[in-house]
Amino acid sequence: MSDTSRLNVIGRPLPRVDALEKVDGKARYVDDYRIEGLVHCAMTLSPHPHAEVLSIRTDEALAVPGVLGVFTAPDVPVNQIGCVFQDQPLLAAERVRFVGDRVALVVAKTRDIARKAAALVKVDYRPLPSVHDAEEALKDVAPKLHAQGNLLAHQKIRFGDAAACLAACDVVVEHEFEVNYQEHAYLEPQGALAVPEAGGGVTIAGSMQCPFYVQSGVARALGLDRNRVRVEQAVTGGGFGGKEEYPSEVAALAALAALATGRPAKLVFSRAEDFQISTKRHRMRMRYKVGADREGKLQAIYVTQFVDSGGYAGLSTVVAERANTTAAGPYFFPNAHVDTFIVYTNNLLGGAFRGFGNPQVTFAIEGMMERLAARLGMDPVELRRKNLLSEGMPLICGQALPPSAPSRDVLDTLAQRSDFDRLRAEALEFNRTHRFRRKGVGLALSMYGCCLHAGGQHLEGSGALVQVRADGSVEVNIGGTELGQGAFTVVAQIAAETLGADYARVRVLPTDTRMVADSGPTVASRTTIMSGNAVRAASLQIRSRLVELAASMLGCPSREVEVGNGAYRQVPVDPPALRPEVSASAPSPVTIDHPSSTISQANVRFPDLCMEAFRRKLHLAASGWYAPPPKPWDKDTGQGIAYSVYCFTGNVAVVEVDLIGGLVKVEKVFAVHDVGQVLNPVTLEGQVHGGIVQGMGWALSENLVLDKGRCLNPGFTDYLIPSSLDMPQMDATFVEEPYPDGPFGAKGIGEPSLISVPTAVALAAGDACGQLPDRLPVTPETVLRWTAKDGNGQ
């Protein structure tokens, strides 16, 4: 493959093939890119949840015309792809630990040939006992999946003396909650393209959230220096966490094939494969005990929770950190005891998903607040208001809640905006007059730590490169990625606002590991804060140079130069009598002699300023870097500074329940979010709408069904995500209390937009049926069990 054709693969638009061609005598529609020498990959996957690999025979697969190679564990230079722990082989060698564990990789001239040959790889397995429940996996009699046993990690919170306090509380409520998996349902399945480069390197393009994760994972597995692995994010149709750590596995397989064959290699999952073998929202079981006094003041919380990691660790311990730290929700508890057990099973792989462990514990703590309110005979909204955290109060990790924490404003705005009392009264009246339909109203709050937990703070730095061209146009590179959340829009706004440039002429380029330093992952609602601050830092360096230039052109001190509305202008800051005289050696106002220039004694347009800067050989490019202060953390007690800042959210949901069929229709969802300072209300509202819909799905219909670790509904026919016909009315409101360390005061929204939605919807469904839910999702079968239990609709 020539260097010229290689350059045509990455970084340039490629001609598409849209045509019908004959394959095995049948017409097939082809929609692919013309890439010289492209080969395709397919995987041989384990059908067993747990088995010993006795032998692998590849002769039949290799005999298929068009097959270029079959690769197994010995062909991988460093056969490890685990993200946090080195517990996961890229290709299984001696044992498989879940249905879908990869055993072999087939490379062929077409995708069809590769898949046909992958089915012909003969693997001799010896099935082993499997375990499919996290608590069962911790028993001595359970099969051991890894050398250290099935307990991956035990995380703790020790704050005060919860056990002693509970013994003395006036009221104690105890309950168990369970939540099922959730599939990400991103637009395109997992996929990557790898291109071999001169000197033994590789360039990768793929659908991903975290190019630097991919760079690190591929370099390690293939025994390469990181500077030989270039990763560029392709246009990505949503990630929601599912394209955080997992694309490293896809990319490593494609890169293995590319380097082995010397040809560009592509691996794209089918949707069924994606369902079975990629990561999911973690299944969790949570046992809560909450104590309060007679007036409803919370006194203690005691939590034991089990996180089902699946066959390998992935990001399970990182997800669990958030569930562990925020198990008490947005409420003040003077005493807390939390045990979080992260456990290996032979189930699907758990991983990152929007909310990152927080939606699970929000469902539990909000359910406990409802139960406690019922026990005390209190209004549940007033119980919440009485116990909300506010700035300066200690969290259960001992951290004083930092500034920008308008929790009460969020609750009050939510109650007023939804007219919550009226909604409840209308639901009661509707239910009094309807026999087979019921209405319900649910309210839920949450607290979310923005950016990375203290345990992951080594990844928190974020970089940016800003370049201003001679014509006043601007190019921006960031380490974060665009997933449809509007990140590029916001950082373009930040650059334009800081520089005084025209927003329409700011271009944010695709994320590329060549352009900026390792900026960590695009997760944890951190992109606005981290990449935004990095862009602002770079832009401020350029702006300072332009301010000095503008001062020389305007004949004034630099302190009198104001930036805004596409121009640098003189705004005197000293009274005339106090203003220093301009000496004979001071620069005189400059006239620019190109036709489009517009300059007056007190005003110079940004494009003219840039042109003059280039004429004077000024450097109008800068790298920016942002990292928050260190966060001390004691993992043995779960005490320290967990997150740099927190967001508070609230939702009210109104539903109608069909008691005959068990169907729940979400009619309206109100959302109130604390976002710091609003930078772009349109993109914020878009994030809220997406979070509402995705949260509704997990609450009601998205129910992955497993049989011994095998997914029985690996597609959108039986795994039901909300459709356009299911959309409720949505009302979004933003509470603004600027975050001092955010770019222009902004915080994040991507994950908070979902977190309390499933709980509000589930509580509304329960309210309609006179029940308090303790399992997600609330399926029609759940509703029918409720109605059978209390006789509704009979």
Query: What are the tens digits of pLDDT across the range 677-699?
Result: 999 999 999 999 999 999 999 99
H or E segment at 707?
Answer: strand 706-707
What pLDDT does residue 768 have?
A: 98
Answer whether 484's CB lies under 8 Å from 514's CB.
no
Closest CA to 421 of 443, 438, 437, 406: 443
CATH 3.30.365.10, domain 20-25+461-626, yes or no: yes
Residues of the chain short of pLDDT 70, as ranges, are: 1-34, 574-601, 790-794
H or E segment at 211?
Answer: helix 211-222
Closest CA to 760 of 485, 422, 449, 415: 415
Six-digit token string for 27: 């017409």
Answer whether 786's CB lies under 8 Å from 771's CB.
yes
Let me know if 543 is a catalytic residue: no
CA distance 571 to 547: 12
* Among 97, 281, 283, 322, the one annotated catalytic: 322
What pLDDT does residue 264 have?
A: 97
According to CATH, where is 3.90.1170.50 located in the chain? 33-128+190-268
Fold type of domain 284-397+407-454+635-790: Aldehyde Oxidoreductase; domain 4 (3.30.365)
Six-digit token string for 386: 């009485």
**Is the full-model pTM beyond 0.85?**
yes
CA distance 496 to 491: 8
* Among 183, 460, 656, 751, the one annotated catalytic: 751
Question: Terminus-to-terminus CA distance in the chain, angstroms?
Answer: 73
C-alpha 159, offset from chain centre = 29
CA distance 461 to 628: 8
According to CATH, where is 3.30.365.10 located in the chain? 20-25+461-626, 284-397+407-454+635-790
Fold type of domain 33-128+190-268: Aldehyde Oxidoreductase; domain 3 (3.90.1170)
Q: Is 26 helix (H, G, I), strand (E, B) or coil?
A: strand
CA distance 215 to 510: 16
Answer whether 701's CB lies under 8 Å from 725's CB.
no
Q: Helix 380-387 crosses helix 407-418 at what angle (to 10 degrees)?
A: 160
- The C-alpha angle 123, 124, 126, rounded to 5 degrees, equals 130
Answer whether 605's CB lies under 8 Å from 505's CB.
no
H or E segment at 109?
Answer: none
CA distance 149 to 134: 12
Phi, psi of 725 (to 5 degrees): -75, -15
Let me know if 322 is a catalytic residue: yes
Answer whether 277's CB lies under 8 Å from 103's CB.
no
Answer whether 721's CB lies under 8 Å from 185's CB.
yes
What pLDDT does residue 34 have?
A: 67
CA distance 670 to 653: 6
